[in-house]
A and B are shown apart, each in its own frame.
Chain A
Amino acid sequence: QVQLVQSGAEVKKPGASVKVSCKTSGYSFTTWYIHWVRQAPGQGLDWMGMVSSDSDYTTYAQRFQGRVTMTRDTTTATVYMELSSLKSEDTAVYYCARAGSGDFDYWGQGTLVTVSS
């Protein structure tokens, strides 16, 4: 069965960077790209960007341009999302989601990133 398993919770200081992983299984990794979505406490879903699984192609939401980098490792079927220059407003649960048929068909369990001094 399709699974997206994310790395564990992180606590970071303002100005630091965080790298979250999303390990996929149960399907051909290079078939579908992966989205990243975040959800601040008590807030809605916010699309951050996507990374292709069969090339280096990425596209990011404008508000994260310059601070976010999404990469993939085809040998381990894992994608990564790195966010730099962290601020307290970046405290959120970060989700990966497979594009799939019709988009966003499978989601990871989420990774809580807390930014606090």
Chain B
Amino acid sequence: DVVMTQSPLSLPVTLGQPASISCRSSQSLVHSDGSTYLNWFQQRPGQSPRRLFYKVSNRDSGVPDRFSGSGSGTDFTLKISRVEAEDVAFYYCLQATHWPRTFGQGTKLEIK
């Protein structure tokens, strides 16, 4: 199975400051069709996960543009340019290139 490793696991951030979460995979996530199927999800307390990005950098509808996704191969990053209070949540990466699908451990973003 592809192992997804996120860091850090805990991310205290001051309001208005940037934040960055890393996600590394144990194998390349480039599919035979040429696409890279790496998604990012946000899970606020008591809520279902919500997809933020698919195929690395494609932002889902309604996701603020202060969020960005980047990366390639085995190394991916989720960035928030200026953290707001509503961004307090767990963030998960997921690889959807290989079976079985696998998630990262999750990163808890909190306000410092």
Contacts and interface: CB of A to CB of B under 8 A. Distances in A.
B50 A103 contact: no
Contact of A47 (B48, B54, B102, B105): B102
Interface range for A: 20 to 34
B100 A104 contact: no
A104 B48 contact: no
A14 interface: no
A44 interface: yes
Contacts of A37: 49
B39 A104 contact: yes
Given A45-B49, A95-B48, A102 B54 contact: yes
A108 B51 CA distance: 12
B100 A46 contact: no
A61 B100 contact: yes
B24 interface: no
Contact of A35 (B51, B101, B102, B106): B101
27 contacts: A35-B101, A44-B90, A44-B92, A44-B104, A44-B105, A45-B92, A45-B94, A46-B103, A47-B100, A47-B103, A50-B101, A61-B100, A62-B100, A95-B48, A102-B37, A102-B55, A102-B58, A102-B96, A103-B39, A103-B54, A103-B101, A104-B41, A104-B94, A105-B51, A107-B48, A107-B50, A109-B48
